[in-house]
Amino acid sequence: MSYSFHSDNRLPQTRLAVVSYIIVGMIGLLLLGFWKLQVIDSDKYGQMAEQNRVRSIPIIAPRGRMLDRDGRVMVDNRPSFSVLLLRDDPKLVEQYLPAISDGLGISVDDLHDQLQNTRNLPKFQPIVIKPEASGADLDFIESHRSDIPVLEMLSVSRRRYLPGGFLGHATGYVGEASEQQIEASNGKLRPGDVVGKSGLERQYNDILMGTDGMRRVVVNSVGKEMKDMRLTEQEAIPGKQIQLTIDYDLQQVAEQSLGARPGAVVALDPRTGEVLAMVSRPTPDSNDFAVRIPKEEWRRLNEDPLRPLLNRAIQAQLAPGSVFKIVTATAMLEDHNPPENFTSFCPGYGTFYGRQFKCWVFGKSSHGTVDVRKAIMESCDVFFYNVGMRLGIDRLSHYGSKLGIGHRTGIDLPSEETGLMPSEEWVERVFHRKWYAGETISVSTGQGAVTTTPLQLARMIGGIASGGVFKQPHMIKNAQSVGEEKFALSEHTIEKVTDAMYAVVNEGGTGASLKLAGIELSGKSGTAQVIGYATRERLGKQKKFEDNAWFVGYAPRRNPEIVVAVLVQESGQHGGTASGPVVRDIIKAYYDKKNLQTNGTSTVTADQHVPAPARSAAVVTPVVALKPEEATTTPAHNSERDPNLQ
């Protein structure tokens, strides 16, 4: 019998060993992976699981309100919703972008831009992709929580301003923080944060802007918040509200009296420097900026030839016209050059340095023999041409500068302009030539190179009538450390000048139509040319070349309680005709209100005009200090400007 083993199918021992090692190795790797997950990376994956379950939602702090001097609300907030994008998982966000674009009406390119701009932020920090969510947006988010779990709604407070641009340039507006503002904030600001962009919103942004809070909530599998499982909440700290010096009643009169005409109004209390009213026209509605303004609208505002973003009250650098004659008269009386009893004959024109300079009555009448009082009262150009010729540009520049021309007033608003008070040193430094004596003739009547702002003129006239005391204009009530400048003027000079300005209104001067019974309204009119006579004749009479109308009025005639400067641009009318009635209306409203309050009847009620603030609201009084003088900006010099008309 024989046996054969060739059909034996058992595996060799070496193969069994290899298979065994492989199986043991795989089990070892699995055990190592389990150990790594459970021990080494437990914190990491625990945090990831927590993020899937727990969501951090910012609580946006409302900005502080702005109240008028009587406690009425001028600027407050309204409830709104923004759309948040949760960026914890970038791949998931990228996956849902097309659906988000369709549902919220935001282009994919815009969404990509926003993600790119916030790429340096922590991934767990959500970003605002739509500041103002509509009802349809909220419905979309709520109905697609399971489909698009990267969207969340954020309750916010939006700025609410009085409509129609009321006090618009003074209060300013808010907008999203720019990259430059974020970088300069030392981590305080984040992309999407709302900050003040202009006016008081910008000036007092640190006070008005509160501190955001945060709440951590538990969400279910579709991303919906579990109301009964809220974890922790850090409450937001609202911004502090500020009380302004603005009087709503006077502001309303100023807005209505100026109307839609391009120009500006400033009303001050020269005893304290408080700004009672400020208007600039045209002005955009600040509510348009409360949410992200469309690029097309922003471009339109910047390209508008009427420059609606310009606060003319503090930024319109224009020739002051005959209002500047008060500077020339003050210089004459203080320097006794020419002497006080100096007179000049006005036939309607005068010839100086071989050139004819016209008076505003040229071709209609003449002023005859004129002294300084009559020259101010009737605004005789020829008289002041003679005075300017004798004084010279440097003495005019000295007094103009001391009275505030060519310097910022220090008002607590950003971007105030300086205006310009020309001098021999200025023309040599800027134009590298000597000053021509003929240029002084124009400057003496507020034409030529001299430019001012309405605020400067209000402060100047109020300071002269107050005995040479010039208070720093400011917008915050009960402000501390208000600046004050004094310029020594003789009592005789003050009396002569204020008496003449009283005659302008009350004794048949250029403001005779403005006379008010029982009120010592005084002032000075001015009508400043935009271009010279010769140029106007070549180009023809066009609206954009019409004269600017000024009037600065105050009451009473000495130590005034209120001074009002009004500019109406390119009105084509004399200052007393176009701007004077606005001054009269505001001063009359001031005394009407004062008399009612004196008699025990107040015009302020809780439900009048605007809502009254809560009694418990805290009001912050920031410290106002004079700003350091910055470099003087130089406007283009127009050598063709002729003397003003009136």
Residue 578 lies in a domain: yes
Whether residue 59 is found in the same domain as residue 147? yes
- Among 575, 609, 636, which Cα is nearest to 246's? 609
Domain with residue 268: its CATH number is: 3.40.710.10
Residue 204 lies in a domain: yes
Residue 223 lies in a domain: yes
Whether residue 267 is found in the same domain as residue 355? yes
Q: Give the model's confidence band at 226: pLDDT under 50 very low, under 70 low, under 90 confident, else very high.
A: low
Domain with residue 125: its CATH number is: 3.90.1310.10
Whether residue 460 is found in the same domain as residue 485? yes
Residue 370: helix, strand or coil by DSSP? strand
Whether residue 363 is found in the same domain as residue 488? yes
Q: What is the pLDDT of residue 633?
A: 39
Whether residue 512 is found in the same domain as residue 471? yes
- Report pLDDT digits (tens) over 181-191: 888 888 788 77
Helices 381-391 and 393-402: angle between axes, nearest 10 degrees: 100
What's the gap between Cα 305 and its chain centre? 19
pTM (2 d.p.): 0.81
In the sheet with 233-234, reading across from the earlier edge strand, the strands are 54-59, 213-218, 233-234
Q: Give the model's confidence band at 486: pLDDT under 50 very low, under 70 low, under 90 confident, else very high.
A: very high
Structure tokens, 38: 């459970």
Whether residue 126 is found in the same domain as residue 81? yes
Helix H or strand E segment including 493: helix 491-506
Q: Where are the alpha helices (DSSP H) in 88-198?
A: 90-104, 108-117, 135-143, 168-171, 179-184
Whether residue 521 is found in the same domain as residue 564? yes
Domain count, the chain: 2
Q: What is the pLDDT of residue 579?
A: 96
Whether residue 222 is found in the same domain as residue 261? no
Please give the Cα distance from 314 to 473 (Å, whole number).
11
Whether residue 571 is found in the same domain as residue 465? yes
Residue 63 lies in a domain: yes
Q: What is the pLDDT of residue 372?
A: 97
Please give the Cα distance from 362 to 645 (Å, whole number).
9
pLDDT at 2 > cutoff 60: no
Whether residue 183 is found in the same domain as residue 329? no
Residue 302 lies in a domain: no
Whether residue 462 is found in the same domain as residue 481? yes
Q: Give the model's confidence band at 601: pLDDT under 50 very low, under 70 low, under 90 confident, else very high.
A: low
pLDDT at 632 > cutoff 80: no
Whether residue 397 is found in the same domain as residue 271? yes
Residue 542 lies in a domain: yes
Domain boundary among 569, 585, 605: 605
Please give the Cα distance from 173 to 384 (Å, whole number).
44
Residue 478 lies in a domain: yes
Tell me the average pLDDT across 610-635.
43
* Least confident interval from 247-256, 416-425, 592-601, 629-638: 629-638
Residue 29 lies in a domain: no
Name 603's Cβ contacts closer than 8 Å, sequence gap at least 6: 249, 593, 596, 597
Quote the domain boundaries for residue 412: 248-289+313-605
Name 349's Cβ contacts closer than 8 Å, sequence gap at least 6: 356, 357, 358, 359, 362, 382
Structure tokens, 587: 């001063």
- In 337-477 the beta strands, taken as DSSP E runs, fall at 344-346, 349-352, 355-358, 368-370, 469-471
